[in-house]
């Protein structure tokens, strides 16, 4: 039995010797590598926090003390130390452990949102609550990476925490110099100045020896730390910045020296007010393939980069051609250059790409500024993270009718990252934005076509949304209906029973549904709207020529494309039932995309059954002709 297998909870760590802790760290690293290379997952970040997580759990008393992991992708070690070794092999598998903290999994898990830069705000609230409730013996710990620290919310929180002098709050900045890519920005430059400083080793030694001589508790300790800080002020800039905010600063601490970490954290805990502990770690430590990976230190396995054949790559390739033709087109990423497919654009036009850090709100308003000055920015963002920048899209971009294109990767069900990563909101919230135009390509050709159309729009914002993963082969239109593509007409001998409008890839699902329904004698016209906002008014006439309208979208059902179609038909007094299929408006668990879609009823089989029942309920009286009579042949 390994040491790790004997750890059923943090209390089992307490009796271990330093030598055993070293062995434990090695066992954890072995398991992290063996598991994530099989199941997929965040390898690099977790390898970097092994000693830190051990130290946190030896110093603090979870779950009485509260530990908030920012983003939560680096919480695997925490899972292993809180009784989940046996289940770890099920990581990110359907029904297995989630890839982030999960309140359902453990009382030691608190925050499962996985959207970065929130930990300090949660921690601020928790610590204030414990003060108010008269529970001063509890400490709140936030673990935040230097990448997550580039997010605006983190700074709003710091500003407030600095003023909450009674909060027993320990903020651990896990500084490895990397976000997905090397962390960018003014703060990052300060932090990296420390790491490359030739005097860094001396500083660590100095802190090590001085800390071990420091008094054990409270104010006197801080006097000592303060003295250290002042002494190294010329070498280390960040603490000056934190100090100017009014925050106590401890560091930098070698994040792989478990004993030293314990000493620093123990003293931070005893201080009794908010303290920031600056810890230097190495992303990917212990796995050469991660340590030496120059793209992202194996932030994720398999790599999140835009591989050939993926939607992101098709987008990225098209951006390179657009960039050659349109010198006014610039690109923005919020710390996701490679995963969003912008790496080639960055290589071709290094001056025309901006990595703003994990700062989606800033990305969008900065894009507004670029557009005001005559450029056409393309903001490439994962669908789920656009939620952050709704107000910026609405008020900063749309109100000013600015030509900004938001390219939303990973729209719809994404899979193993679970509830917080499914891109199921954008199709609804973007419907609310006046003047917004939303494109949903069904295949690679349409990604290029619709991206180009979006970039031609000069009077307001546009969205292009597409899913995660591999893109299928081209599906050609058989006819046009207004600006939409007709992919299939009911077929010989079948009536125009159902008008099925499938947004994006759901148009392809629609084709399979139509095949199944044809087998039951039900004629289906399948339309890909291409643009899901504004809804093409040609649907009004087409609806009148069928007996049932069906919409299918890979987005939450509430307020999405389907609701927009139903509204259009109501507004035109079309007396036609509309069945809107989409994702249930719930937080959907993790699992393979096809399984999540299956559970949501969005497979051809489920849809065909439900549509057959709906058709059966309709009266047989049929009106109007066949869309084939009115559609013009696609040229």
Ligand X SMILES: Cc1ncc(C[n+]2csc(CCOP(=O)(O)OP(=O)(O)O)c2C)c(N)n1
Q: Of 362 and 579, which has the nearer Cβ to ligand X?
A: 362
DSSP 3-state of 484: strand
User: Interface with ligand X includes 179 (CB under 6 A)?
Assistant: yes
Closest among 627, 439, 622, 436 to 538, alpha carbons compared: 627
- Member of 57, 168, 229, 283 binding ligand X (CB under 6 A): 283
44 versus 529: smaller Cβ distance to ligand X: 44
Using CB under 6 A as the binding rule, the residues of this chain from 49 to 78 that contact ligand X are 71, 73-74
Apex 205 CA angle, 204 and 209, nearest 5: 120
**Closest separation between CB of residue 174 and ligand X, Å?**
6
- Output 355 or 485, the one with its CB closest to ligand X: 355
* Cβ neighbour number for residue 347 with a 10 Å cutoff: 10
- In the list 36, 53, 102, 114, the residue contacting ligand X (rule: CB under 6 A) is 114
User: Would you say 393 or 509 has its CB closer to ligand X?
Assistant: 393
Out of 10, 41, 101, 145, point to the residue binding ligand X (CB under 6 A).
Answer: 145
The nearest distance, CB 43 to ligand X, in angstroms, is 10
> What is residue 337's DSSP assignment?
T
For residue 111, the minimal CB distance to ligand X (Å) is: 12
Residue 385 vs 531, nearer CB to ligand X = 385
| Best CA proximity match to 450, nearest among 487, 503, 401, 410 | 503
By CB under 6 A, tell whether 146 contacts ligand X.
yes
User: Of 556, 604, 300, nearest to 413 (Cα)?
Assistant: 556
What contacts 399, CB < 8 A, 6 or more positions away?
434
**Between the CA of residue 332 and those of 221, 343, 425, 466, 473, what are the distances in Å?**
45, 11, 21, 17, 28
**For residue 208, how many C-alpha atoms fall within 13 Å in the half-sphere facing its CB?**
13
Q: Which is nearer to ligand X, 39 or 509 (CB)?
A: 39
Site string for ligand X, 368-387 (x = CB under 6 A): -----------------x--
Whose Cβ is closer to ligand X: residue 50's or residue 228's? 50
* Residue in 100, 122, 180, 345 binding ligand X, rule: CB under 6 A: 180
Rg of the chain in Å (alpha carbons): 27
- For the bound state, the minimum distance from the C-beta of residue 116 to ligand X, rounded and expressed in Å, comes to 3
**190, 238 Cβ separation under 8 angstroms:** yes
- Within a 10 A sphere around the Cβ of 33, how many other Cβ atoms? 19
Specify the stretch interacting with ligand X by CB under 6 A; choose among 4-12, 173-181, 270-278, 514-522.
173-181
Region of residue 460 (phi > 0: left; psi between -120 and 50: alpha; otherwise: beta): left
- Comparing CA positions, the residue from 538, 597, 336, 562 lying closest to residue 427 is 562
SS3 208: helix
**116 or 322: whose CB is closer to ligand X?**
116
CA 597 to chain centre: 19
- Least distance from C-beta 152 to ligand X, angstroms? 10
Interatomic CA distance for residues 87 and 106, integer angstroms? 12
Question: Does 147 contact ligand X by CB under 6 A?
Answer: yes
Of 115 and 533, the one with the shorter C-beta distance to ligand X is 115
Which residues within the stretch 343-362 sit at the binding site for ligand X (CB under 6 A)?
A: 358, 360
Which of residues 296 and 528 has its CB atom nearest to ligand X in the complex?
A: 296
Nearest CA to 148 among 203, 74, 198? 74
With binding defined as CB under 6 A, does residue 176 bind ligand X?
yes
| Residues near ligand X (CB under 6 A), total | 26
- The nearest distance, CB 115 to ligand X, in angstroms, is 4
Minimum distance from residue 418 beta carbon to ligand X (Å) = 12
**Smallest separation (angstroms) from ligand X to the CB of 74:** 5
Q: How far is the CB of 335 from ligand X (least distance, A)?
A: 4
H or E segment and range at residue 233: none
The question of whether 283 is a catalytic residue gets the answer yes
Out of 112, 318, 360, 453, the active site residue is 360
Query: Nearest Cα to 63, choosing from 8, 107, 125?
Result: 107
Work out the number of other CB atoms within 10 angstroms of the CB of residue 326: 15
**Inter-CA distances, 388 with 151, 158, 426, Å:** 11, 19, 11
Q: Work out the number of other CB atoms within 10 angstroms of the CB of residue 307.
A: 13
**Closest approach of ligand X to the CB of residue 151, in Å:** 6
Length of the chain: 635
The H or E element that residue 309 is part of is none
DSSP 580-628: EEEE-SS-PPPS-HHHHHHHTT-SHHHHHHHHHHHHHHS-S---S--HH
Q: What DSSP designation does 398 have?
A: I
Measure Cα distances from 56 to 19, 26, 446, 611 in Å.
18, 17, 50, 55
Least Å distance, CB 54 to ligand X, is 16
| Candidate list 388, 437, 488, 533, residue with the active-site label | 388
The yes or no reply on residue 335 touching ligand X (CB under 6 A) is yes
Considering only the stretches 88-96, 331-339, 424-432, 509-517, report the one whose residues sit in contact with ligand X under the rule CB under 6 A.
331-339
Stretch that binds ligand X, among 18-26, 146-154, 598-606, 627-635 (CB under 6 A): 146-154
Question: Does 178 sit near ligand X (CB under 6 A)?
Answer: yes
Which residue stretch of 143-151, 184-192, 270-278, 469-477 sits at the interface with ligand X (rule: CB under 6 A)? 143-151
The window from 95-103, 175-183, 432-440, 449-457 that contacts ligand X (CB under 6 A) reads 175-183
For ligand X, the binding residue among 21, 33, 52, 116 (CB under 6 A) is 116
Q: Please, which residue, 168 or 299, has the CB nearer to ligand X?
A: 299
Cα pseudo-dihedral 31, 33, 39, 45, rounded to 10: 110
Q: Can you give the binding site for ligand X, defined by CB under 6 A? A: 45, 48, 71, 73-74, 114-116, 145-148, 174, 176, 178-180, 283, 299, 334-336, 358, 360, 385, 388
Residues carrying an active site annotation: 283, 360, 388
């Amino acid at each position: 039995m390994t040491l790790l297998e004997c750890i059923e909870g943090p209390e089992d760590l307490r009796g271990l010797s330093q030598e055993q802790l070293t062995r434990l760290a090695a066992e954890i690293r072995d398991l992290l590598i063996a598991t994530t290379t099989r199941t997929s997952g965040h390898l690099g970040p977790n390898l970097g926090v092994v000693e830190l997580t051990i130290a946190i759990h030896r110093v603090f008393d979870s779950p009485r003390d509260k530990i908030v992991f920012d983003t939560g992708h680096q919480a695997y070690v925490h899972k292993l130390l809180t009784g989940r070794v046996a289940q770890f092999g099920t990581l990110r598998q359907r029904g297995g452990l989630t890839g982030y903290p999960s309140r359902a999994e453990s009382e030691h898990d608190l925050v499962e949102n996985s959207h970065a830069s929130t930990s300090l705000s949660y921690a601020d609230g928790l610590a204030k609550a414990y003060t108010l409730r008269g529970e001063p013996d509890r400490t709140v710990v936030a673990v935040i990476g230097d990448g997550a620290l580039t997010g605006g919310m983190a700074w709003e929180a710091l500003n407030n925490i600095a003023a909450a002098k009674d909060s027993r709050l320990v903020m651990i900045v896990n500084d490895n110099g990397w976000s997905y890519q090397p962390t960018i920005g003014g703060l990052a430059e300060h932090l990296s100045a420390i790491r490359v400083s030739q005097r860094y080793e001396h500083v660590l030694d100095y802190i090590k020896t001085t800390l071990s001589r420091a008094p054990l508790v409270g104010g006197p300790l801080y006097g000592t730390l303060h003295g250290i800080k002042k002494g190294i002020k010329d070498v280390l800039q960040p603490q000056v910045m934190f100090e100017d905010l009014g925050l106590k600063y401890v560091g930098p601490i070698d994040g792989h020296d478990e004993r030293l970490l314990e000493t620093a954290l123990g003293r931070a805990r005893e201080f009794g007010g908010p303290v920031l502990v600056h810890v230097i770690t190495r992303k990917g430590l212990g796995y050469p393939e991660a340590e030496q990976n120059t793209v992202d230190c194996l932030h994720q396995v398999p790599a999140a980069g835009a591989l050939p054949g993926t939607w992101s790559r098709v987008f990225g390739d098209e951006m390179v051609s657009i960039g050659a033709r349109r010198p006014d087109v610039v690109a923005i990423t919020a710390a996701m250059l490679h995963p969003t497919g912008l790496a080639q654009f960055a290589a071709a036009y290094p001056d025309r790409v901006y990595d703003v850090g994990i700062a989606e709100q800033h990305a969008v308003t900065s894009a507004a500024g670029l557009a005001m000055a005559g450029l056409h920015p393309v903001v490439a963002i994962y669908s789920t993270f656009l939620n952050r920048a709704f107000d910026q899209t609405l008020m900063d971009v749309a109100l000013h009718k600015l030509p900004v294109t938001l390219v939303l990767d990973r729209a719809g069900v994404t899979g193993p990252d679970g509830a917080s990563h499914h891109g199921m909101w954008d199709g609804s919230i973007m419907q609310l934005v006046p003047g917004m135009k939303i494109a949903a390509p069904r295949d690679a050709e349409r990604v290029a076509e619709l991206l180009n159309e979006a970039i031609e729009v000069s009077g307001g914002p546009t969205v292009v949304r597409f899913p995660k993963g591999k893109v299928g082969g081209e599906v050609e239109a058989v006819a046009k209906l207004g600006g939409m593509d007709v992919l299939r007409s009911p077929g010989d001998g079948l009536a125009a029973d159902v008008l099925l409008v499938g947004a994006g890839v759901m148009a392809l699902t629609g084709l399979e549904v139509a095949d199944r329904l044809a087998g039951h004698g039900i004629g289906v016209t399948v339309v890909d709207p291409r643009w899901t906002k504004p809804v093409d008014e040609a649907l009004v006439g087409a609806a009148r020529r069928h007996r049932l309208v069906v919409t299918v979208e890979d987005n939450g059902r509430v307020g999405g494309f389907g609701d927009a179609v139903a509204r259009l038909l109501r507004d035109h007094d079309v007396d036609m039932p509309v069945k809107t299929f989409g994702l249930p408006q719930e937080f959907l668990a993790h699992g393979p995309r096809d399984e999540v879609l299956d559970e949501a009823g969005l497979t051809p089989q489920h849809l065909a059954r439900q549509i057959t029942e709906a058709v059966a309920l309709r009266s047989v009286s049929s009106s109007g002709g066949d869309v084939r009579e009115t559609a013009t042949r696609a040229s």
